[in-house]
Amino acid sequence: MTFLSVNVNKVAVLRNSRGGRLPDPLDAARCAIAAGCDGITVHPRPDQRHVRPEDVVRIAQVLGRAEFNIEGNPFAPPREGYPGLLELVRQARPAQVTLVPDSDGQLTSDHGFDLSRHDAQLQSLIKAFKQEGCRVSLFVDAASPGIGRVADYGADRIEIYTGPYAANFSDNASSEELDRCVATATEANALGLGVNAGHDLDQQNLGSLLSAIPDITEVSIGHALFSEALYFGLAETVRRYLDIIRGSSPPS
């Protein structure tokens, strides 16, 4: 069964645009968990334009049965107000950390790691995160060469960047981008890696992805989910995504 992890970053963006405390991403996390989601994802950036370090620690304290997934660039150094990703993991103790190669200037994550060459620093960082007791997932492009290096580095999973799949989605035909995702998941599974997926997934394209790759372990969804929640409410939108997942995945 595929797990749904709700990314609450967009709630923090709305709060930060006004200042003050509202809306609180902690409340959004509680609502999503009460509606049945399996986990909460946050992506604290060094410039603090999304979820902030103090939000990460607060959310970690209310998760209950739900898993916590912290995304971030492991190479971004600490700075005022941001202790660095590794230190945040030490404070929040997430079940999973997803390493993403985004720079400060990126509006959103839009590519995976370059796996075409060995990166000793990345391998060392993955070891450090695993020593903190969390699962490590690496953000990768579909059909990226060198998936085998993810296993060599000691990571547990990949997260397939599904932005190109979503941008080229069609209800009527299997796209080349979907085929790339399928091939990447197949290769990762053969290497003993778990497969997550995320970015621009929504109620229209999620079912087709899960039908093509039923062994996806987790999908992380934020932007589309909160866009739809403006009209249907957060709890109802979470339940709609869970219905899609249950309808596309074989029984566990």
Residues with pLDDT less than 50, the chain: 252
Residue-level pLDDT at 144: 92
* Domains of the chain, CATH where assigned: 3-248 (3.20.20.70)
Please give the angle made by the CA atoms of 61, 49 and 71, to the nearest 5 degrees. Answer: 55
Residue-level pLDDT at 171: 61
Residue-level pLDDT at 27: 98
For residues 181 and 186, give the distance between their C-alpha atoms in angstroms, rounded to a whole number. 9
Residues in the chain: 252
Residue-level pLDDT at 175: 85
Residue-level pLDDT at 179: 95
For residues 138 and 160, give the distance between their C-alpha atoms in angstroms, rounded to a whole number. 8
Phi/psi of residue 12, nearest 5 degrees:
-70, -35
Give the up-direction half-sphere exposure of residue 223: CA atoms within 13 A in the CB hemisphere: 11
Which amino acid is it at 125?
L
Residue-level pLDDT at 106: 66
Answer yes or no: pTM beyond 0.75.
yes
Please give the angle made by the CA atoms of 43, 70 and 152, to the nearest 5 degrees. Answer: 115
Which residues have CB under 8 Å from 2's CB, separation 6+? 210, 214, 216, 217, 218, 219, 245, 248, 249
Residues with catalytic annotation? Answer: 43, 71, 199
For residues 183 and 160, give the distance between their C-alpha atoms in angstroms, rounded to a whole number. 11
Residue-level pLDDT at 170: 76
Residue-level pLDDT at 187: 97
For residues 185 and 147, give the distance between their C-alpha atoms in angstroms, rounded to a whole number. 10
* Burial category of 148 from C-beta neighbours within 10 Å (exposed 0-12, middle 13-18, buried 19 and up): middle
Which amino acid is it at 155?
A
Q: What percent helix, strand, coil does the chain show, rounded to 5?
A: 40, 15, 40
Q: How does 98-118 read in b/e, with b if 16+ C-beta sit within 10 Å?
A: bbbbbeeeeeebebbbebeee
Phi/psi of residue 56, nearest 5 degrees:
-60, -45
